[in-house]
Amino acid sequence: MNPHIIIIGGGISGLATAYYLQQQAQAKNLSLTYTLIEKQPTFGGKIITDTADGFVIEGGPDSFISQKPWARQLCQELGLQERLIGTNDEQRKTFILHKNRLQALPDGVMLIIPTRFMPFALSPLISPWGKLRMGLDLFIPSKSDDEDESLADFIRRRLGNEALEKIAEPLMAGIYVADPTTLSLQSTFPRFRQIEKKYGSLIKGMLAQQKATSKSTQPKLPLFMTLRGGLTELVTTLVSKLKGELLTNQTVTRLEYEPTASQPYQVQLANGQIYRANAVILATPAFVAADLLKPHHPALAEKLKNIRYLSTATVSLAFNKAEISHPLNGFGFVIPKKEDTRLMACTWVSTKFSHRAPTDQILLRVFIGGYSHEDLVDLPDDELLSVVKEELKKIMGITARPTRQRLYRWPNGNAQYDVGHLERVAEIASLVQETFPQLYLTGSAFLGVGLPDCIYQGQQTAEKVSQDFGPG
Ligand SMILES: Cc1cc2nc3c(=O)[nH]c(=O)nc-3n(C[C@H](O)[C@H](O)[C@H](O)COP(=O)(O)OP(=O)(O)OC[C@H]3O[C@@H](n4cnc5c(N)ncnc54)[C@H](O)[C@@H]3O)c2cc1C
């Protein structure tokens, strides 16, 4: 009998795993079958796009970083090359709320590291002492041990407290919705530590990299890319290529393991139906994997539960362009925790990307929740929308009525990579390997939350499965 694999969870991680499993099986001439089981009525997980009346509104991710090639490559492989669009980088500017005013992040600040002297020196965002302290990065020796540390400790150590509070914390919160004092440097920004070790200074390292990039003959890609009709284009195209059994609206409620059976795994659905399989791939959030594995291995379940999650929400608002006096001259703003506001960040979507709103409209997307105001995510819709509108009035002077509004909540939607995360993941992997042969864990809980990382992990998981079921 051909081996049968069950993939639980049809977000981008489960979908990518299924796709690459199919590719691997074909390339290696393996006869295996699979079933992909998703709880929601549609595939895609956090990827959800609402398109109507000329708007493209993303509820979850809106783009992926191009420097990590896996999402871009998958789009190309799927024939979506012509649909790829980049951010409008000629308008790239990020603002930071500082004392209730939006201040531009100085030109030449790469991630959080200043690489051009004049714009940085002239910026009112950082005090003269703060600038001097950031400059000390050129002289502070590298840390001698390789132990993980929090992003906050690292930034404070190299660039000082002001850089942390005014630049790093809000920018990084925008990506990981995380508290930098608990966020693991090794599992989120290992490159910073590599640069520190190689160059002894972040500023020197960034300048060296900038020089190398300017000499490169490779065409320069926009930093972030997406698909013209939104990221669900990736999901629908991916699903259309899958040849296995695809189930939606089905929740897996139990997982049984009988090592001596010819098909050792039994997967039970909420409707009572049972599927047997030779292997199971869990592409769900870690707490779901924990619940399914708890009856068999409480210690493993505990470790999975220790991967924390935070809740967030996104609110997209469209306005008549003629009614908005703000120039929207950038990609949006982020907000340090210290500022007295209830928002986390706001993307000026119709500036950041083309094809997102009709020409007489503008589109904004506000982020709420995360580590600073998680409680807001549970407010009733009307209260949450009122909070957003009040804050936008204070920050951007917007008083017009929105022509369209969309709210998406992501309860426990964002995995948190706390200090020691990589060790925790390695312990989980080794417990799984010891106890459950042919059980695989993949997805955003483990080795990267961004779409490219999820796709890469799916590729790696598919490769492992095909090796385990391959000839001899
Ligand atoms: C608001 C927001 C904005 C983001 N922005 C970006 C961005 O711009 N760029 C970027 O790269 N990343 C972004 N991310 C992160 C990225 O979207 C996620 O990390 C990624 O989509 C997670 O994919 P996944 O497949 O691992 O998990 P999920 O998408 O969570 O998929 C897991 C799936 O498992 C299913 N499931 C759960 N339990 C069961 C069960 N018992 N039985 C069957 N199925 C089950 C769920 O329904 C879900 O579909 C963002 C995330 C959020 C929340």
Kindly give the distance from the C-alpha atom of residue 386 to the centroid of ligand 1, in angstroms, as a whole number: 27
* Residues near 57 by beta carbon (within 8 Å), at least 6 away in sequence: 49, 50, 51, 230, 316, 356, 363, 365, 404, 406
- 450 CA closest ligand 1 atom index: 11
pLDDT in tens, 87-113: 998 998 999 999 889 999 887 777 677
pTM of the complete model: 0.96
Q: Concatenate the DSSP letters of all residues of 106-159 into one string.
A: PTTEETTEE--HHHHHH-SSS-HHHHHHHHGGGTSPPPSS----BHHHHHHHHH
Percent of the chain with pLDDT over 90: 82
pLDDT of res. 14: 98
Q: Enumerate helices (H) and strands (E) in the chain, giving the number of each.
A: 17, 22
Domains and CATH numbers, the chain: 4-41+238-307+418-468 (3.50.50.60), 108-215 (1.10.3110.10), 310-415 (3.90.660.20)
Question: Residues 451, 175: contact at Cβ < 8 Å?
Answer: no
Please state, rounded to an integer, the average pLDDT across all residues of the chain: 94
Tell me how far apart the alpha carbons of residues 412 and 85 are, in angstroms, rounded to a whole number. 30
Tell me how far apart the alpha carbons of residues 300 and 282 are, in angstroms, rounded to a whole number. 14
Kindly give the distance from the C-alpha atom of residue 9 to the centroid of ligand 1, in angstroms, as a whole number: 9
- The protein residue whose alpha carbon is closest to atom 1 in ligand 1 is 60
pLDDT in tens, 232-287: 999 999 999 999 999 999 999 999 999 999 999 999 999 999 999 999 999 999 99
Q: Which residues line ligand 1 (CB under 6 A)?
A: 8-14, 37-40, 45-47, 60-64, 251-252, 283-285, 288, 312, 314, 410, 413-414, 443-444, 449-451, 454
Beta strands in 139-259 (DSSP E): 224-227, 245-247, 252-257
Q: Concatenate the DSSP letters of all residues of 21-52 into one string.
A: HHHHHHHTT---EEEEE-SSSSSBTT--EEEE
pLDDT band at 472 (very low <50, low <70, confident <90, very high): low
Kindly give the distance from the C-alpha atom of residue 152 to the centroid of ligand 1, in angstroms, as a whole number: 26
